[in-house]
Structure 1
């Protein structure tokens, strides 16, 4: 069996391959580890849509829904 990209469970064979690939791409981008722009800690994550914060230094920033561009 060839190694490929990590796929997500939960969608099964529904919705078509194009939608599943888009969902996988967005979900992996959303869940990746990020460093805080202030303190450099890896505890930087999304609180709500467009709101990103660091749990260590309480730094908050507004960004896009699935990623933050600093």
Structure 2
């Protein structure tokens, strides 16, 4: 059985193209990341372009939905 992608939050509105793009960005934003400083899995986005580690308090500026090191 294939795993279904989440299209939550939009319902049947806005058309399929926008819903697919929203799902792609949403899944990319919520994926687990490792901290470049300490290597823990507690690296997440605080605000648009600001990423921080909850374990070692390392902060870095990146792009809005993903981090480019």
**TMscore range, shorter length:** over 0.9
- Unmatched 5+ stretches in structure 1: none
- Unmatched 5+ stretches in structure 2: none
Aligned to 2:58: 59
Aligned to 1:31: 30
CA RMSD of aligned residues (A): 1.2
Q: Which runs of 4+ in 1 moved over 4 A?
A: none
- Would you say how many aligned residue pairs link Structure 1 and Structure 2? 69
Q: Which piece of structure 1 moves more, 50-59 or 4-13?
A: 4-13
Instruction: Classify 1:42/1:15 alpha carbon distance in 2 versus 1 (closer, same or farther; 3 Å).
Output: same
Q: Do the aligned residues in 1 keep the contact of 2:50 with 2:61 (CA within 8 Å)?
A: yes
